[in-house]
Amino acid sequence: MLRHPLIKGIYFLDELYEFPDPKIEDGIEGGILAIGGDLNPMRLLKAYRMGIFPWYGEDDPILWWSPLKRCILYPEEFKLSKSFKRVLRNKKYRVTFDLAFEKVIKMCATIPRKDQNGTWINQEIINSYTKLYELGYAHCVEVWMEEELVGGLYGVALGGAFFGESMFSTKSNASKIALKAISDVLNKRGYDFIDCQVATPHLKSLGAVEIPKSKFLEELNTALKKKDEVGSWSNLKWEYSDG
C-alpha cells in the first residue's frame, strides 16, 4: 500500500490486503480512501470489517470508500406507511432467502433505479460477491410474484452488521418488501444495523438515518464482536405480521 505522492489521503493498494485506517484518513471526494487492488473475497471481508466498501464506475479503477456520513437502518426502526401496510397485508408476494443469488445480483446490475445513473455492478463484482455467497458471507433476499422474480437485494453479513449492496424491483414495492423482510429477520436474529452506505430519499423514507463516520465505526466495532453467521440462509422464513 503506497500513499499517492500528489494527493493527500489517497493510497494505492497492492497485493497485500491492507487499507488505510478510516479513523485517521478522510480521503477525498467525500470518502475515497484508496485506489486499486482487486476484489478478492478476503480483501472484501477485510474492507467491510474496517468500514470500507468498493464503489466505482465502469471505466474507473476500483475505488474504496469510507464516507464522512454513513447511511444505516436499524432493523427495528423500519418505517411502515399505511399504504405499504396494505401491500404487505395483501400477501401477493412470496419472499425467500439465498435461493437465487446470481440471478438477484445480475438483476441488480441491469434494472434501472430512479436514484442512480447506470450501474456499477460489473462482471468482476458479480464474480467476487458470488464467491462470497458460496463461502457463506454474502446473502440475498428474493421477492416472487408466483414464479417470477420481481425484486430483491444482496449484501454481506459479518458479526451483527449487514452490509447492503444493491436492490432491484420490476414490480411496485418489491424491493421495499425485500428490505422489510431482511430488516425483520435481522432484528429477530439480533443484528445491530443494516449499512446502506449512501443516503437516498427513498432509504430515509423507510427509516434509514445518516450518522457521522466516527459513530458508524464505533457501532461497527461493537457489531463485529458478535459471532459471524457463516452459511446459507435458505432455511429462513418470513411472512408479514401486524403483531
User: For the domain that residue 93 is a member of, what is the CATH number?
Assistant: 3.40.630.70
pLDDT of res. 88: 94
Q: Are 75 and 157 contained in the same domain?
A: yes
Asked if residue 23 and residue 126 are part of one domain, the reply reads no
Within this chain, do residues 140 and 42 fall inside the same structural domain, yes or no?
no
Do 136 and 187 reside in the same domain of the chain? yes
**Cα 242 off chain centre by:** 26
Quick one: average pLDDT of 53-60? 89
Residues 168 and 104 in one domain: yes
Q: What is the pLDDT of residue 5?
A: 43
- CATH number, domain of 48, equals 3.30.70.3550
Specify which of 57-61, 129-133, 238-242 reaches the highest per-range mean pLDDT.
129-133
- Amino acid (one-letter) located at 230: V
116 and 100 within one domain:
yes
Considering the domain architecture, whether residues 7 and 93 belong to the same structural domain is answered as no
Q: Same domain, yes or no, for 136 and 44?
A: no
Give yes or no: residues 114 and 217 share one domain.
yes
| pLDDT of 4 above 90 | no
Three cell numbers, residue 42: 478476503
In a domain, 215, yes or no: yes
Backbone CA torsion sign across 135, 136, 140, 141: positive
Assigned domain for 240 exists: no
Question: How many domains are contained in the chain?
Answer: 2
Distance of CA 67 to the CA centre of its chain: 14
Q: Does residue 233 belong to any structural domain of this protein?
A: no
pLDDT digits (tens, 9 = 90+) for 172-200: 999 999 999 999 999 999 999 999 999 99
| Top-confidence residue, 222 or 5 | 222
pLDDT, tens digit, for every residue of 109-165?
A: 998 766 554 468 999 999 999 999 999 999 999 999 999 999 999 999 999 999 999
Do 89 and 37 fall into the same domain?
no
Burial 85-114 (b: 16+ CB within 10 A, else e): eebbeeeebebbbbbbbeebbbbbbebebe
Q: Quote the domain boundaries for residue 11.
A: 2-66
Residues 111 and 218 in one domain: yes
The verdict on residue 162 lying in a domain is yes
Residues 167 and 108 in one domain: yes
Output the DSSP codes for the chain: -EE-SSSTT-EEE-SS-----TTT---BTTTEEEEE----HHHHHHHHHTT-EE---TTSPPEEE--SEEEEE-GGG----HHHHHHHHHT--EEEESSSHHHHHHHHHHS--TT-SS----HHHHHHHHHHHHHTSEEEEEEEETTEEEEEEEEEEETTEEEEEEEEESSTTHHHHHHHHHHHHHHHTT--EEEEES--HHHHHTT-EEEEHHHHHHHHHHHTTSPP--S--TT--------
